[in-house]
Chain A
Amino acid sequence: GDSVTQMEGPVTLSEEAFLTINCTYTATGYPSLFWYVQYPGEGLQLLLKATKADDKGSNKGFEATYRKETTSFHLEKGSVQVSDSAVYFCALSDGGGATNKLIFGTGTLLAVQP
């Protein structure tokens, strides 16, 4: 079945450092790909998405490009801030069913130090 694999955390960075969180997927069809973020004590919020190969999603300085050839959707940010500290989830929806249920990775905790 479909699955998402993302890098283990925690990832600890200093403020203004470059961030990469790796995400790869396995899917039989043509999935849409998502990054969600969860701040402490909160639910998940959509950060960005891409619906087809070579699409780039971007939001709040974060970017991820849908790479079909490597089945990847790595999250990047050029300069992280303390306020970016959260858990980041990569997810896919296969789009082949009637609903858009999401399959999630395990999440990566990001801690940004001042």
Chain B
Amino acid sequence: ETGVTQTPRHLVMGMTNKKSLKCEQHLGHNAMYWYKQSAKKPLELMFVYNFKEQTENNSVPSRFSPECPNSSHLFLHLHTLQPEDSALYLCASSHSGVAGTEAFFGQGTRLTVV
């Protein structure tokens, strides 16, 4: 149990579907992150939220739409995805403004776009 829970663990969706990934943490953290993990590529930081405000968007296509309603929950809304978007999507959280503190990761959602 890492303290960060992601649902669903696995998701298969068609290119015209709309789905959402959910992340929840009860560690008292104020920063939350979405990462994409594709085969044979480094982990890609997608979005960063700090105290519910988006502070970073690393040129992520608009078919990925994040939402952070409060410091404990983070969503990633998906629509009209492409097969190359198939990957493991990892959510993480950490304290804000404390240098050297680590991030805690969820188990990820394995997404397959067909």
User: A-side interface residues toward B, CB under 8 Å?
Assistant: 32, 34, 36, 41-46, 49, 51, 89, 93, 95, 97-107
Residues of A within 8 A of B42 (CB): 104-107
Residues of A within 8 A of B90 (CB): 43-44
A34–B95 CA distance with the chains assembled, in angstroms? 16
Smallest beta-carbon distance B104→chain A, Å: 8
Complex contact A100–B107 (CB within 8 A): no
Complex contact A101–B100 (CB within 8 A): no
Q: A51-B100, A101-B45, A105-B42 are in contact. List 10 more A-B contacts (CB 8 A).
A: A36-B105, A43-B2, A43-B4, A93-B100, A95-B99, A97-B55, A99-B55, A100-B100, A101-B56, A104-B42
Complex contact B99–A100 (CB within 8 A): yes
**How would you classify the secondary structure of chain B's contact residues: helix, strand, loop or mixed?**
loop
Contact of B33 among A41, A101, A107 (CB under 8 A): A101
Complex contact A104–B102 (CB within 8 A): no
Interface residues on B, range: 20 to 34
Q: Which residue of A lies closest to B9 (CB)?
A: A41
Complex contact A32–B99 (CB within 8 A): yes
Q: Which residue of B lies closest to A36 (CB)?
A: B105
Residues of A within 8 A of B101 (CB): 100
Q: Which residue of A lies closest to B103 (CB)?
A: A102
Complex contact B95–A43 (CB within 8 A): no
